[in-house]
Structure 1
């Protein structure tokens, strides 16, 4: 596969798993984005290159449009090809209830999870149009978008609800150009995001609650994302796939 895959938030969790698995699945050029965890991004890149693919490690706070523009200035200089985007970068604030949802907290969550995601797509599509090779986008949403995350992360859930709406609208807008847009809603997945939200033992407590009786893995989400990017899903757009064990 001669195209270029861009994975935001690829230093750990779902993003790292997607980048690694992409190399195994034939993607030859992979942009490994990170915000703060350079060591994690370098580890992901090393695994990508151990499978014979080329990794490009880039750093940016996606909530800063100028930083995102710098990434895509580098991308635009690369050899043209079909582009895949896994729009995965996201944050969760510490667990809290309504009284904890201060304007500053909510603004930070939305700046990364929504405004940053939109800017990454805008810049990606600009390069897709310039190169004229088409491509596909997979947004990483969350089961929280439909469950609400009451008493825990309502602001995070709301930001992912925005990603669902964004996916549907952009799928309609970009379909005439041959650009497919889909999303994945992961459920209880074994990644570091639970600890970042202040609940490192969350999966120990509720990981058994999905109908399948266990939490999912980052690799299971990555499998779905890479299928949606691939030509095997060539007639799939405007679709949100739950990878949530039935939850």
Structure 2
């Protein structure tokens, strides 16, 4: 697995300097790595968190130490009223918005179909589908009102392609929604010069797998990866930098960018 990169390691993309970027779920994992990389490019980064304020504060310090500006924004993304407040605080703190990264989400719980109940179904859909749709709505409204275009990057998963591992079918289906909706939203918003894409990670060693996957499950997953190793959060970051940059990604919209070591090749 690759080592965590420092500010000096990230490529410098000139047009990201000063960009106003909100990343949901930025206190740990892929969101935190993306925040640090955008900070190293001189961006203004809204570091959103829910329960992990202490970890978000560490990320914010890293963003500023790397040369960016960080704005901490707390809130529960499963509550629609909170989403409106999060977006308003981000716009106020950042001075507007150029890039929205819908990174927040989670497995919630591995559970077989025979044990589904209303509570688990609702919790997985709320965290991985409903909040993404709400953030898309609020982000689109803000970017359209500004009239300057922008980029929205959603987080999908290789699970959307293969149906998920043991007990994670609902999560995989939710990520399938994200991938499909990303393409539709891209078509709808292109007339406003808003690009909509998604990053689809494979098996990435973050708190997600530390919490939900056993060493034995991870070993089995690794056997299906041609690179024969698990990925790191830092190895996903280049995709976010590329899709956020108008210089690099200006003709890219409606795409699902796979970052999985060859685990799935569409």
Q: TM-score, normalised by structure 1?
A: 0.94
Residue 203 of structure 2 is aligned with which of 182, 188, 191? Answer: 188
Query: 2:254 aligns to what?
Result: 238
Q: Which runs of 5+ in 1 are unaligned?
A: none
TM-aligned CA distance change 1:200 to 1:104, over 3 Å:
farther
Shift of 1:52: 1.9
Query: 2:10 aligns to what?
Result: none
The answer on whether the counterparts of 1:190 and 1:203 sit within 8 Å (CA) in structure 2 is no
The answer on whether the counterparts of 2:197 and 2:243 sit within 8 Å (CA) in structure 1 is yes
Residue 157 of structure 1 is aligned with which of 162, 172, 183? Answer: 172
Shift of 1:203: 2.7
Q: Distance in 1 between matches of 2:35 and 2:234?
A: 10
Query: 1:175 aligns to what?
Result: 190
Q: Distance in 2 between matches of 1:186 and 1:89?
A: 13
TM-aligned CA distance change 1:161 to 1:107, over 3 Å:
same
The answer on whether the counterparts of 2:22 and 2:97 sit within 8 Å (CA) in structure 1 is no
The answer on whether the counterparts of 2:38 and 2:241 sit within 8 Å (CA) in structure 1 is yes
Q: Distance in 1 between matches of 2:127 and 2:243?
A: 23
Q: Secondary structure at the match of 2:199?
A: strand
Output one character per residue of 1:146-166: Cα deviation in whole Å (capped at 9) or x when no partner: 110143200100100010111
Q: Distance in 1 between matches of 2:69 and 2:217?
A: 36
Residue correspondences, number: 246
RMSD: 1.6
Query: 1:215 aligns to what?
Result: 230
Q: Distance in 1 between matches of 2:207 and 2:215?
A: 8
In the alignment, is residue 8 of structure 1 matched against residue 21 of structure 2? no
Output one character per residue of 1:201-231: Cα deviation in whole Å (capped at 9) or x when no partner: 6434433430111111101111111111112
Runs of 4+ displaced beyond 3 Å: 78-82, 198-202
Query: 2:9 aligns to what?
Result: none
Q: How does 1:65-80 map to 2 (within 5 A)?
A: 65-78=80-93, 80=95
Q: TM-score, normalised by structure 2?
A: 0.88
Q: Secondary structure at the match of 1:77?
A: helix
Q: Distance in 2 between matches of 1:209 and 1:79?
A: 42
Shift of 1:51: 1.2
TM-aligned CA distance change 1:46 to 1:78, over 3 Å:
closer
The answer on whether the counterparts of 1:82 and 1:133 sit within 8 Å (CA) in structure 2 is no
